């Protein structure tokens, strides 16, 4: 028999509290794990996740968790970064092996997604943002009006990304260095879009507009 002073209601309340406390403990253990796993990424992507041009490493801060997990899986399986012409992708591939499990990928992705986005320095000259704005109307359907990305379309945010990286990826999609693997479903969605950018100037123009969207 329970002493009268501890009612059934109290027990129910204490049980709920215990569940809530352990859920918080699990969440903070995952946060700590994500931060710890990120030490494998620091050397190239930097402590703030802003990347490093000398190492061809893009900004990854603030990308969505879903997009990061997908890309890590693709690098892991060689669906991205598996082409011999893809020097930068080949550098990233072994790094995805440092987070082999689903749990590790999710934990590090959560950490990276939580890092604040920052506008990056301009390195490309000669792009016309007015012309780029017209080209970008097609892109907006998936990447959003402000290039904020859309998880439902598997489309990453392009905000706070380096102009040189955007240019390299558009060229890689065009040339079939990225997005051409038959298992790369979301890459296949993007490839024909890059084909629409018929020359170097169109690539520079659309990037000049995209860069004007990040403040
Ligand atoms: C040796 C340097 C290096 C290390 C260490 C490294 N990366 Fe990378 N990472 C790269 C390069 C280079 C690219 C660009 C590949 C390309 O151009 O396709 C990249 C690309 C990425 C991308 C794709 C970004 C996008 O916008 O599509 C993600 C996500 C990523 N890295 C996450 C990580 C994580 C998480 C870690 C740690 C587990 C890590 N990287 C460690 C060099 C590195
Ligand atoms: C039909 C939807 C769709 C449209 C329209 C589209 N994209 Fe994409 N884009 C995607 C998807 C999906 C990905 C991610 C591919 C992957 O998973 O590797 C992507 C990836 C990219 C990347 C690589 C970003 C990174 O972080 O690595 C760039 C750059 C890009 N798109 C630019 C553009 C531009 C510029 C346009 C307009 C000319 C455009 N996209 C139109 C769906 C689209």
The per-residue pLDDT for 215 is 72
Residue 95, both tokens: 């790094």
Atom in ligand 2 nearest the alpha carbon of residue 178: 18
Residue 154 in contact with residue 70, Cβ under 8 Å?
Answer: yes
The response to whether residue 72 sits with its C-beta less than 6 Å from ligand 2 reads: no
Cα 131 to averaged position of ligand 2 atoms, centre (Å): 19
Atom in ligand 2 nearest the alpha carbon of residue 157: 26
Nearest residue (by CA) to ligand 2, atom 6, is: 139
The per-residue pLDDT for 10 is 65
Cα 163 to averaged position of ligand 1 atoms, centre (Å): 16
The response to whether residue 187 sits with its C-beta less than 6 Å from ligand 2 reads: yes
CA dist 174 and 120 (Å) reads 24
The per-residue pLDDT for 14 is 59
The per-residue pLDDT for 87 is 96
The per-residue pLDDT for 29 is 81
CA torsion sign for 131, 158, 86, 124 is: positive
Tens digit of each residue's pLDDT, the chain (215 residues): 555 556 677 666 656 656 555 666 667 888 899 999 999 999 999 999 999 999 999 999 999 999 999 999 999 999 999 999 999 999 999 999 999 999 999 999 999 999 999 999 999 999 999 999 999 999 999 999 999 999 999 999 999 999 999 999 999 999 999 999 999 999 999 999 999 999 999 999 999 999 999 87
What is the end-to-end Cα distance of the chain in Å, rounded? 65
The response to whether residue 69 sits with its C-beta less than 6 Å from ligand 2 reads: no
Atom in ligand 1 nearest the alpha carbon of residue 178: 18
Indicate the top mutation candidate among 141, 143, 170, 203 to test ligand 2's pocket, ranked by most ligand atoms within 8 A of CB. Answer: 143
The per-residue pLDDT for 31 is 86
């Amino acid at each position: 028999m329970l002493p009268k002073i501890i009612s059934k209601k109290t027990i129910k309340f204490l049980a709920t509290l215990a569940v809530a406390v352990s859920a918080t403990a699990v969440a903070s253990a995952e946060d700590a794990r994500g931060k710890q796993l990120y030490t494998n990424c620091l050397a190239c992507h930097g402590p703030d996740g802003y990347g490093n041009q000398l190492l061809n490493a893009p900004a990854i801060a603030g990308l969505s968790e879903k997009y990061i997990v997908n890309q890590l899986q693709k690098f892991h399986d060689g669906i991205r970064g598996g082409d011999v012409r893809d020097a930068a992708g080949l550098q990233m591939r072994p790094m995805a092996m440092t987070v082999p499990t689903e749990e590790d990928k999710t934990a590090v992705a959560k950490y990276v997604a939580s890092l604040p986005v920052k506008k990056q320095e301009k390195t490309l000259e000669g792009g016309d943002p007015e012309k780029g704005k017209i080209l970008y109307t097609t892109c907006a359907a998936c990447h959003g009006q402000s290039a904020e990305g859309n998880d439902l379309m598997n489309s990453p945010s392009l905000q706070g990304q380096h102009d040189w990286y955007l240019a390299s990826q558009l060229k890689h999609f065009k040339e079939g260095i990225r997005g051409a693997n038959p298992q790369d479903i979301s890459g296949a969605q993007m490839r024909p879009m890059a084909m629409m950018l018929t020359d170097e100037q169109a690539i520079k123009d659309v990037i000049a507009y995209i860069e004007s969207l990040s403040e």
